[in-house]
Chains A and B, each alone.
Chain A
Amino acid sequence: MIRSILYIRLKQAGRVATGLGLGRCLFLAGVSGFLAFLLFLQTAAFPNSLYAAGIYLAVIFLLQLNRPDKQFLKITFIHHKVIFLAEYLLLLIPLLICLAYHQLYQLLTATFVIAFLITHVDYKARHRSMNTMIQRVIPASCFEWKSGVRTSLVLMGVVWVTGMYTSFFIASVPVVLFFLGILPLGFYERGEPVQMVLAYEMGAVSFILYKIKMQVVLFTILSMPLILAFCIFHPDIWYIPVLEFLVLITSQGYLVLVKYAFYQPNTKPGGAQVFGLLGTIGLIIPILIPLVWLLSVRFYFKSVSNLNFYLDDYN
């Protein structure tokens, strides 16, 4: 059973790779190699190895929470948890090798145990019909924000209010801005039905520029009070949140471009997920930011060409 499932996974990975093309696959292999090298360096010393393992396992945990095939596997296979464990251990191979190489056997054992425990997590987030004034204020065309705010309004609200109240601390606003910059990255994962794209009645270029504009406007409205509060308390270093805001704005634009570069109606395309994740990693590892900018240019042309198929009659 596990062998056949893993064989199917291999074929699925092959299809995603074919969809991405050789160039992008090589590029992603390079980025993955770089990340594996960072992991190897970070796991050399104890406190950092703990953080690295923690982040790695957090990603696996999020995967378990959000994987769309969970219900299918539960219905189809009695021993679905064994399948989860086999898959997660495969994904954990780089971490396990690093921990074994650096002889961190306690952490290695803990990683196995936590991976086993993760397979037992069966939480499904409830969809909430929260209709607040905020959803009504967001324009109808920004349905990603309406949807995203509905699921994470409480979290966003708590973080934002905390940021405002603690803005006299020098680190508070930059940290909150970073967090608010990462949250909308999840809003653009899924492709909407084609009717929703056509409802704008715009050509591909106008559509893309409009979507980026609205993303920038909404994120600016969210961030500006925090930046102003920071500038009031720390006028001598006003440029820190401003520069951070500019970097975050480019990531927001990148996200829109990735979504429509790989857009297919009603799906979560593999390419968009992979390159969207790269955008998030780019915020965490600043060395990758110029790469995100370069890719933004590439994805602008790709998204226009992709959307032209659907929107050619509006050009």
Chain B
Amino acid sequence: MITIENLTVSYGTTKKVIDTLDLELPDCTIHGVVGLNGSGKTTLLNAIYGLKKTDSGRILYNNRKINKKEMSLLVTENYFYPNITGREYLGLFDNLAFGTDKWNALFLLPLDDIIDHYSSGMKKKLAFMGILKQDKPVMILDEPFNGLDIEACRIIRQVLLRLKDRGKTVIITSHIIETLTNLCDHLHYLEKGKIILTKNKEEFGAFEKEIFASIENKNETLINELTAHGPDHLPD
């Protein structure tokens, strides 16, 4: 069980991105964190992984401080070191049991080509293979479906569901709810650094309705006002 207690994370001295957040993530489950751009999803994941200093609060894994040795992180940016091949990247992770070519039969990546030549979707698949090779009990995935085609999304979903059955705990963020509803066991809605809504699998329908309703109400009036004069006469 991952337990997040009273977590606060700020940028600078004033801007609180995560605000006294409490969350419990049971083992062998997949958790989706949904929120608008800038709601704090990536900051939350970075704080869990220890890449962002926290102002207060603590993050525990089975009642002790969480450790990087137990986690793997897939970051949202598709950045790799230049001029190395996919195989060389995967070669960095020390796991002899991992069958790189067998897994690649699923992803069909040109592993002997340098990563700079990969498309963004291919880079995402390579990063995911890196996560699989690390084989850590907690997998933290920031926007793993960005830039992927339908087939790759389906493969990753299937793989994650199998890994959950094998005991992994997965935390995924996305700003698109639909990608998470048929994968996650729990969905958490993050707004202004706080989890304002948590639903289990059975309540996902209601979750989507509530979220969409709140977004639509907020923006309707402003969109009407801004587009009232046509595109050539947008108000200042």
Residues of A within 8 A of B (CB): 127-129, 131, 135, 140-141, 143-144, 146-148, 150-151, 190, 192-196, 198-201, 265-266, 309-310, 312-314
Please give, as numbers and ranges, the residues of chain A lying within 8 Å of B91 by CB-CB distance.
140
- Of the residues A146, A309, A312, contact of B88 by C-beta under 8 Å: A146
Could you give, for residues 80-119 of chain B, a 1 whenever the CB lies within 8 Å of some chain A CB and a 0 otherwise?
1111110011011110000000000000000011101100
When the two chains form their complex, are residues B88 and A140 in contact, meaning their CB atoms are under 8 A apart? yes
Q: Classify the interface of chain B: helix, strand, loop or mixed.
A: loop
Please give, as numbers and ranges, the residues of chain A lying within 8 Å of B113 by CB-CB distance.
129
Please give, as numbers and ranges, the residues of chain A lying within 8 Å of B67 by CB-CB distance.
313
When the two chains form their complex, are residues B81 and A194 in contact, meaning their CB atoms are under 8 A apart? no
Q: Could you list 11 further interchain pairs (A-B, Cβ under 8 angstroms) beyond the known A129-B85, A146-B83, A313-B67?
A: A127-B83, A127-B116, A129-B112, A131-B112, A140-B92, A146-B84, A151-B83, A190-B81, A194-B73, A196-B92, A199-B92
Interface size class for chain B?
20 to 34
- CA distance in complex: A78, B88 (Å): 40
When the two chains form their complex, are residues A143 and B84 in contact, meaning their CB atoms are under 8 A apart? yes
When the two chains form their complex, are residues B68 and A143 in contact, meaning their CB atoms are under 8 A apart? no
Check A193/B80 contact, CB under 8 A, given A128-B114, A140-B91, A143-B88. yes
When the two chains form their complex, are residues B84 and A194 in contact, meaning their CB atoms are under 8 A apart? no
Residue from the set B84, B93, B113, B116 with the largest chain A CB neighbour count within 10 Å? B84
- CA distance in complex: A128, B113 (Å): 9
When the two chains form their complex, are residues B68 and A127 in contact, meaning their CB atoms are under 8 A apart? no
A142 → chain B, closest Cβ, in Å?
10
Please give, as numbers and ranges, the residues of chain A lying within 8 Å of B81 by CB-CB distance.
143-144, 147, 190, 192-193, 196
- CA distance in complex: A148, B88 (Å): 13
Please give, as numbers and ranges, the residues of chain A lying within 8 Å of B80 by CB-CB distance.
193
B167 within 8 A of A: no
Chain B residue nearest to A141 in the complex (CB): B92
B77 within 8 A of A: yes
- CA distance in complex: A140, B93 (Å): 9
B130 within 8 A of A: yes
B79 within 8 A of A: yes
Please give, as numbers and ranges, the residues of chain B lying within 8 Å of A131 by CB-CB distance.
85, 112
When the two chains form their complex, are residues A313 and B84 in contact, meaning their CB atoms are under 8 A apart? no
- CA distance in complex: A140, B130 (Å): 14
12 sample A-B contacts, Cβ–Cβ < 8 Å, listed by A number: A129-B85, A129-B114, A143-B92, A146-B83, A146-B84, A148-B83, A150-B114, A192-B81, A194-B73, A201-B94, A266-B77, A313-B68
B69 within 8 A of A: yes
- Of the residues B69, B89, B93, B116, contact of A313 by C-beta under 8 Å: B69
